[in-house]
Amino acid sequence: MGFPVGIGGGANESLHNRPLADQYSKDTSMIYQHRLLSQAGSESLDLPVGKVVCVGRNYAAHAAELNNPVPAEPILFMKPATAVVSLENGWSIPTDQGDCHIETEMTLLIGSQLSKANEQQALAAILGVGIGFDLTLRDVQTQLKQQGHPWERAKAFDGSCPLSSFVDATGFELSDAQLRLTRNGELQQDGNSADMITPVAKLLALISQQFTLMPGDVVLTGTPAGVGAIQAGDLLEAELNQQLKVECRVR
Ligand code: ZN
């Protein structure tokens, strides 16, 4: 995208004064804001959209399905804020770079700054829990892995991180959350956070040793088995613990 850079009068100044949404392209799927669901409905949160920190191979069955060894410590990578789109509003996938896989993950919305935290502090910083899709250009990733290169081209592209609205983390059972994905009516992923290799509290504490987490950042906690390619037109239904159900159609 690239916002205009400039100081002083003229066209640049008036552009800077325009609301952020206007500076994006006309594609409304680019406009995303964190939302919290409550019994009263859905409200947008006054939080920036920050970075997304992800963990690879956090479920042994998923590592096995891609013939990957289970790592000794979590494999961490990031997606930038520009990767985030609204899951519920529908989104599109790249069609010219091989298979695009869907990985359905429990997501954590960070509500307060977290740096070099212990597990207790880490849990206290979680504001919301939701569902995210870690979209992955699998053929591109395979090539990058073979060459020993970073994964960003396969994992961090625009639109690679559809995020649902969040439910309040207070009282949410993070260590026993059932996560399901149905694609065109067929169950494709069905896992439980109890099977995470690195559970949520430890994962967040570990991440915060390396990367300071800021309010508005999101953590994707890894995918259970059952990842696979998706196509434009697919109807996806995802569910977390029967507390959150979302549905969307891939464009
Ligand atoms: Zn993932």
What's the CA-to-centroid distance between 105 and ligand 1, angstroms?
7
Within this chain, do residues 37 and 146 fall inside the same structural domain, yes or no?
A: yes
What's the CA-to-centroid distance between 40 and ligand 1, angstroms?
32
Distance CA 78, CA 30 (A): 19
Distance CA 205, CA 29 (A): 32
Label residue 9 by pLDDT band (50, 70, 90).
very low
Closest CA relative to residue 221, chosen from 116, 66, 74 = 74
Within this chain, do residues 178 and 227 fall inside the same structural domain, yes or no?
A: yes
Within this chain, do residues 13 and 112 fall inside the same structural domain, yes or no?
A: no
What's the CA-to-centroid distance between 9 and ligand 1, angstroms?
45
What's the CA-to-centroid distance between 230 and ligand 1, angstroms?
15
**Domain total of the chain:** 2
Average pLDDT over residues 31-51: 93
What's the CA-to-centroid distance between 159 and ligand 1, angstroms?
14
Distance CA 129, CA 59 (A): 18
Whose tokens are 């260590």? That residue is 175
Within this chain, do residues 156 and 184 fall inside the same structural domain, yes or no?
A: yes
What's the CA-to-centroid distance between 155 and ligand 1, angstroms?
9
What's the CA-to-centroid distance between 55 and ligand 1, angstroms?
6
Within this chain, do residues 63 and 10 fall inside the same structural domain, yes or no?
A: no
Closest CA relative to residue 179, chosen from 126, 124, 230, 244 = 244
We report the CATH number of the domain holding residue 178 as 3.90.850.10
Within this chain, do residues 223 and 118 fall inside the same structural domain, yes or no?
A: yes
Give tens-digit pLDDT for 153-172: 999 999 999 999 999 999 99
pLDDT at 11 (0 to 100): 41
Q: Are 55 and 222 in contact (CB under 8 A)?
A: yes
Residues of the domain holding 113: 32-249
Within this chain, do residues 132 and 187 fall inside the same structural domain, yes or no?
A: yes
Q: Are 181 and 188 in contact (CB under 8 A)?
A: yes
Within this chain, do residues 71 and 114 fall inside the same structural domain, yes or no?
A: yes
Within this chain, do residues 141 and 227 fall inside the same structural domain, yes or no?
A: yes
Within this chain, do residues 10 and 47 fall inside the same structural domain, yes or no?
A: no
Q: What are the tokens at 222?
A: 């890894």
What's the CA-to-centroid distance between 7 and ligand 1, angstroms?
40
Q: What are the tokens at 82?
A: 């520009």
Flag whether pLDDT at 32 surpasses 70: yes
Q: Are 241 and 173 in contact (CB under 8 A)?
A: yes
pLDDT at 27 (0 to 100): 52
**pTM for this predicted structure:** 0.88
What's the CA-to-centroid distance between 134 and ligand 1, angstroms?
5
